[in-house]
Structure 1
């Protein structure tokens, strides 16, 4: 039984219930029943694809282990990000170092088409019988820029060198992004699905943002993406439109007022969802910055997107904390008259009060109530909205609220 079976059963049950309700509705049942049945079919196909890709990844590794006579895979070297500076000029891809690192990236692409996080891709190529990443729940993943970063690098490598192996790997990575998108438009943290909070629609660590940026670039077919086919551009645009629908539907309404987003949203209900013990179902100032920023890059935004941007900006204005600073690890805020505005990372649903969590699942209204380990190990406050709100001030003049 594959690991996402619990989610599969829940999603299928939800889709079946929707179909039953639609058939029993007082409205003409033919049309509503057909829509519900299509939703059921879409989820079934999605979950089958996840299972197939997971089995494919496992089969490749198991075959290697059998040849080597190993019972379990070795692990590649861990690193904070990918082990090298990913922001490189086009000329770099034609250097010996650029080619060496791109060879390593190619070697770590999973059979399903993605990459893992915190895996050193500057040391040496993946060895046979070696796991494709350092953490099981993130092989492969979209978390911490994984897969979206490699896909972009491969597009640039092909642009610089014309090497078809880069294009082939890019196309496989792009296909994984398209395949991993939920029928409702969001993305899980990892795909194939691995279960638990990883299956939530993930705004955390800019995951939704990063994938939408890639799709937006592919859809435009410009710069390093000018080689993509018309079919790939069309598929990317359709995927982006579904993602935008999900973004609009998942923007949280607090007491009749549209606000921002959660770090994670339930894949079925689209409501904010809990992740790790200290990451509550809540509004998040940090992750919502990325989505607000992306929405303002869109040409000719729809009235719904314009309203979403203005609403998010208004929420930031309402919840900002002025005249205070916070140093990671501190139990209290410090007065500082000229300090730039800052925000708590999480805000309680319904009240907009800052909240803070701990490893024991406890929730507090004061950062000082959180254990010292979590105060030192987590960013409970942020100044990041300030930069995007400056861009918003210019954007708002071009797209005033109706």
Structure 2
């Protein structure tokens, strides 16, 4: 098939494959990354359970440890993804150089060979072989771009979550300060009222009451007026808290909607790019024979199936993350409202109230941990299924390549015999 004074192109391809014997290296890296991620999540769960057993005063320190663990987990995932992107880019560069080598060798053989061998310039098998190598390089570059876009989206989502968490902490601290000031004001009023009564009793120990019924009615009117004022103040405080809660929930829902819309726009943009690339490939391969068209159609179907699997994985992860975020936000808001809705006379029952709050907080943390465990379990099952599908596809591709290699070898041997 090639000139006799040049090295065998098939031998060059086989030597290149011998340099990369491990075809499932990426799968092993993904498994190692998942194991590391599970380990970090277990450490994070231990930190959260420690926070549930701690007191209310130490929640700030525990939250700091949680944020540090989450940052460490993000850094580890970023390093793993950067390594995968670098390996994909390296493989794409090697495949591009190999394609250039194929074109160069074929052009040299076509110019330096005998006149009878020059008729093989339009051999469809050689063109299909070179096109397949180029398509592999393009596929690797596209996968590297997809990984980079996913990493950028995850980083942006983490930044938005951190910003929302800081904003919620500021809101809770501000609300607690406001409630503390209101309680101090009410306690000072009661203290002044009590001191005034004690002082009046000390200065005027006895008072003549000529009309007892009129004095009784006057005292009842004063008490009713005071009770009405206290009730009005409580109702105003309750309405103000309800308004703050509604505004907080509206702000959180608006931010979640903006984040989901942004993610959907990015996915639509990537899908549009892939469709444009597929349309361009279809236009280029319009004049090829039926066999090459069938191979290209199978490749496109596999890519579309992979994209659908990725979309399903994104949808499942987004739904689970939304549930966890909603549960955590409801827990924080409910706890803040519970603390702020206490009455002024419950200041003297502070130890009992603290124990009740700690018990509720532990129950809520257990609920969040159960949700996280369910999410981790579903993610592991989904990743196992994806790995199984990927390994089956790799085995099918290996079988197909082996059959094609045997066919090319037989054809080359027969043509060599004919030429000799």
TM-score normalised per structure 1: 0.23
Larger RCO (CA under 8 A, 6+ residues apart): 2
TM-score by length of 2: 0.22
Higher strand fraction (1 or 2): 1
**Which structure has greater helix proportion?**
2
